[in-house]
Every structure is written in C-alpha cells, then in structure tokens.
Amino acid sequence: MLIGIPNLLTPDLLRHLKAMGHGDELVIADANFPAETCAARIERLAGASATEVLRAILTIMPLDSYVDHPARTMQVVGDPDTVPDIVADFQKIIDETADHPAKIRGVERHEFYVEARKTYCIVQTAETRLYGNIILQKGVVPPS
C-alpha cells in the first residue's frame, strides 16, 4: 500500500507505467479484446472495469500534450459516428482526471488492432461493455 497510488494498480502495472517513456502507449482493454494476439506485455486486472482502470491510471500518468489525440477508442463497426456509452464515460474521466484533457478520437476496428500491436502494454480488464477499449499515449512528467 502506498499513499496517493490507487489500490487498483498492481505492482507489475506500476512497473510498466514507470518504465514507459514519453510517447509510449498502452491499451486499457475490455474482456473481449484479443490481448494475447496483440501484445507481448499484458497485465490483467480481472476484477476491474475499464473506466475504473482509466481513472486510476490517469491519476499518475500524464497524457501526451504534443499530439492531437493521445486517447483513441475503437469505432462502432458499421456506424463509426455512434459514441457508445462507455466511450462517453471515458471522455468524462479524461476531462475530469487527466493532466492534459483531450478529445478522444475514434479509430476503425482493424486499424485499432494495428495500433494496439505497437503499444508498450495491454491492461486487460473485466469490462463487458462493448467497445470498452482505449489507447493512451504517455506524456512528459514535469520536473518536480
């Protein structure tokens, strides 16, 4: 247990978050996401929702302020303009919690998988809401 670190974040996940550099990305994935196919590094938070994990991570990890879209989600197949409830929840959490709030950009499903394969790590959750996946790009931690 540590002061100021959400209990949801495991020691291994904290190690990965600390090891990531500026511009590195991670995926917070739902239970249906093909994490084994897409990543060499997977952390599982089997009892947590994607929104809980997003909020916890954003309390300690900055979003990249040097790119237009440091947060990306998967578009609804066949209806890319639809915003699923969970994506609206993601946006609300980013607006409330992120050091650098940014508008989420939707990415076509297969392109999302391509992008996910390039990320540093996938954090797979127990999320069962469809389209509960988000890619985050890490920003710079300001000097203390």
Give the active site residues.
Answer: 22, 64, 113
d(CA 70, CA 44): 22
Which amino acid is present at 88? A
List the 121-125 sheet strands across, edge first.
42-45, 121-125, 25-29, 134-137, 71-74, 105-107
Beta bridge partners of 43: 123
Cα separations in angstroms, 86 against 12, 44, 63, 134: 26, 19, 19, 10
Q: Which of 98, 116, 120 is nearest to 107 (CA)?
A: 116
